[in-house]
Every structure is written in structure tokens, then in C-alpha cells.
Structure 1
């Protein structure tokens, strides 16, 4: 999977989304080339993040993390993982707009479960 093809697939996914959910996503959706490792779990790759700054919000997808996780997997698998990640990050965005933080709490619990599984292996 090249970064150009990754970006093309992302554009296809974004085109299918309703325009209204882009409200206040001033920074848009950014593809970063890097492989990003979670700062608290060295064996956990970060596929995407939702970020808020004083300028607004943006979603970052980490191409290197997708290739690190999926390697030479079929394009359909990449697209499914990208869609799931994109929807996850948009959920953070929409919750922020609505004054909720449920998914962030769920992410914290899932990180704790991941750490516990890693310790028991």
C-alpha cells in the first residue's frame, strides 16, 4: 500500500460522509507518514487521533502505523481499518461538539485492558 493509494482510499471514505460532521474541523483530515507508537504502551500502534487546539479540530491518520499493523494485507482490509479509525476519530469530534467525552473514557478503559493483557502474556 503506497501513501498515494492510502490517500486515495481516504478521499473515497471522506466523500461518503455527510458534510455536517465537518463542522469546526478547521484543520481537516491529515495523513502523517510516521509510524506512531502509543506513549504509554510501546507495543500499541496509534492509527489515528483527534486533536483540538485554539484554532479548531483536526483528525490525523498515521500511514506508517497502518502499514506497520497491516503490512501487505489486501486493500479491502486497509479500507475497513481506515474507515473504522476515521469513524472513531469523528466520534471524538462529534462528542466534543456535543459536550460529551464518553469515547475518551472508553479509550482509557481499553488501554488499561490492553496493558493488563500484555502483562499477562
Structure 2
């Protein structure tokens, strides 16, 4: 029998806010859409998407975290595992933003290479 997830949607949203508040404001410059948590899971093929950096002509640049993906992947892991995974996701998506501001896309290239390796197994 599976336990309840360490965080419900409200608790996860609160945790995301705490972790995002640790980021120096200068690193969030031009992240005009901010950060948001969506309740759903997002998948690409068999891989869950934990977060995304998005650019929209109306909403601007923003970062989304998918609570449902965390719940699916982390299931009954303890709260500390959720915290670590979310913090890594915050930093990962922020790196996408900072690279865009710097005119590079190294992280996207690294992700494509890793995905090709995983699919090649």
C-alpha cells in the first residue's frame, strides 16, 4: 500500500516559493513571468518533465514546475528527497534562463545528448 506523497499541491507550492526566494534577484532579471506551479504531470515519451523554462510573446519568460510529475516520480519518497529534486529543478531551469540572457544554449545541447544516450540504451 502506497503512502501519501510527502507534499500535497499546496505544500509543494509553498516549498517552491521558499526555494525560489533563495535566488538572488539579479539572477531573475528579465524573468518577467516569474515562477509557477501547475498541478498536472507532463511527459515526453516515457520521461516526466519536472519543470520548464518558457518564453511567450505575451507572458514573457517564466519557469513552470509540474507537481504531478514530481508526485509520479517521487511517489512516497521522504520530504527531503522532494526538496532536493525541486531545488535541482529550480537551478536547472534558472540556468536555461541565464544562458538565454547570455546568448548561449549549452544546457539544451547537454539535455539532447543525455536524452539520446538514454534512448540508445
**What is the TM-score when the length of structure 2 is the normalising length?**
0.91
Q: Size of the alignment, in residue pairs? A: 114
Counterpart for residue 3 of structure 2: none
Query: Which has more helix, going by share of residues?
Result: 1
Q: Deviations over 1:34-81 (max 9, x none)?
A: 11001xxx2110001101122420001000000000011111100100
Counterpart for residue 12 of structure 2: 6
Counterpart for residue 52 of structure 2: 49
Matched, 1:21 2:24: no
How large is the RMSD of aligned CA atoms in angstroms? Answer: 0.9
Matched, 1:83 2:95: no
In structure 1, how many angstroms separate the alpha carbons of the residues matched to 2:26 and 2:41? 30
1:103, distance to aligned residue in structure 2 (A)? 0.4
Query: Which has more strand, going by share of residues?
Result: 1
**What is the TM-score when the length of structure 1 is the normalising length?**
0.91
Counterpart for residue 33 of structure 1: 39
- Which segments of 5 or more consecutive residues in structure 1 lack a partner in the other structure? none
Q: Alignment partner of 1:12: what SS?
A: helix
- Which segments of 5 or more consecutive residues in structure 2 lack a partner in the other structure? 1-6
After TM superposition, where is structure 1 displaced by more than 2 Å over at least 4 residues in a row? none
In structure 2, how many angstroms separate the alpha carbons of the residues matched to 1:50 and 1:14? 14
Q: Alignment partner of 1:111: what SS?
A: helix
Q: Which has the higher contact order (CA 8 A, sep 6+)?
A: 2
